Amino acid sequence: MSFSTSGFGQITPAVKNLIIINVLAWLATAVLKSQMGINLNDSLGLHCFMSGKFSPIQLLTYMFLHGGFSHLFFNMFAVFMFGRIIEQTWGTSRFVVYYFVTGIGAGLINMLAQYYDILPMIQSIDLCMSEPTTANLDALIGKYGAVSFESQRLVSGFISSYNGLINSDPAAATSIAREFLVQYQEAYIDAHVTIGASGSVFGVLLAFGMLFPNMYLMLLIPPIPIKAKYFVIGYAVIELFMGVQNFAADNIAHWAHLGGMLFGFLLIKFWQKH
């Protein structure tokens, strides 16, 4: 079997439509936010299942949204480069099923990782609710800060009100502290939103590595050839390391990437047996 590796004229149907939909969704997101103040990322992005903004449909819609042009470009470039080869190999129907299964699986794994990431904060909130002392509140805000504009607004308003009452009316200060904690927890959880096709992209990379393990790929940095199987394994190891480390400044959904690869591996093995 031979594959074409150049020319947009060789693009396969599903890959072409996926790229078009993702580009249109990115344009719609930018236009609606700038012209009407509507944030599609907030409504259609994947919220943690503990969030009041979560909806199951977000497991589908989140994979068509992107945070910026570079995010969109690199994801769609990978879909174009590797997805069309997988689609040529499997056919359009199977490729589409695979793409969405890996994307949904990535979202599920990422939500599970978010739960364990958020859990310590919820435990700290519970402690403060039972003992809303100045020391406990300072420790909470000092550790978790403000992860969104909404939580920043809440923290700023609360500190001003609390400091004005703590000496003159401790009971009122305690009351607004508990009210703040409820709102702060909600804002903190709501701020955890996942967008992007990366889960499906990593599923596609996994499929390419399993179907064509000995095909050489040319890396950009460093510019050396590497077999697809080693490229995929290396990428998975890096994602696992980054996910476990959970660096504070890192806003990449590494567990979603691994989730896409995991669900892709399981689905390929299922198809191989059936």
**Would you call 194 helix, strand, or coil by DSSP?**
strand
CA atoms within a 13 Å half-sphere pointing along the CA-CB vector of 244 = 6
Q: How far is CA 50 from CA 56, 121, 125, 129, 146, in A?
A: 12, 13, 15, 19, 18
Q: How many CB atoms lie within 10 A of CB 274?
A: 5
Q: Reply yes or no on whether the pLDDT at 248 is more than 60.
A: no
The pLDDT, as a whole number, for residue 146 is 66
Distance separating alpha carbons of residues 30 and 27, to the nearest angstrom: 5
The pLDDT, as a whole number, for residue 3 is 41
Cβ(108)–Cβ(259) below 8 Å: yes
Cα torsion angle, 131, 137, 140, 143, sign: negative
Average pLDDT score over the chain? 86
Question: If pLDDT is split at 50, 70 and 90, which confidence band does 221 have?
Answer: low
Distance separating alpha carbons of residues 40 and 33, to the nearest angstrom: 8
More confident residue, 122 or 268: 268
Q: Reply yes or no on whether the pLDDT at 237 is more than 60.
A: yes
The pLDDT, as a whole number, for residue 147 is 65
Unique residue bearing structure tokens 């990366």:
198
User: How large a percentage of the chain has pLDDT more than 70?
Assistant: 91
Q: How far is CA 237 from CA 215, 233, 244, in A?
A: 20, 6, 11
Q: Reply yes or no on whether the pLDDT at 250 is more than 80.
A: no
What's the mean pLDDT in 136-143?
Answer: 79
Closest CA to 6 of 123, 67, 60, 84: 84
The pLDDT, as a whole number, for residue 274 is 83
Distance separating alpha carbons of residues 85 and 31, to the nearest angstrom: 33
Cβ(196)–Cβ(65) below 8 Å: yes
pLDDT in tens, 170-190: 888 888 888 888 888 888 898
Question: If pLDDT is split at 50, 70 and 90, which confidence band does 7 have?
Answer: very low
Residue type, 249: A
User: How large a percentage of the chain has pLDDT more than 90?
Assistant: 46
Distance separating alpha carbons of residues 12 and 83, to the nearest angstrom: 8
pLDDT in tens, 63-114: 999 988 999 998 999 999 899 999 999 999 999 999 999 999 999 999 999 9
What is the b/e burial string over 202-218, where b = at least 16 CB atoms within 10 angstroms of the residue's CB? bbbbbbbbbebeeeebe
More confident residue, 143 or 107: 107
The pLDDT, as a whole number, for residue 210 is 92
**Would you call 67 helix, strand, or coil by DSSP?**
coil
Element at 72 (helix H, strand E): helix 69-78
The pLDDT, as a whole number, for residue 63 is 96
Question: If pLDDT is split at 50, 70 and 90, which confidence band does 148 have?
Answer: low
The pLDDT, as a whole number, for residue 208 is 93
The pLDDT, as a whole number, for residue 155 is 79
Question: If pLDDT is split at 50, 70 and 90, which confidence band does 149 have?
Answer: low
CATH T-level fold of 8-115+196-273: Rhomboid-like fold (1.20.1540)
Unique residue bearing structure tokens 């994979």:
63
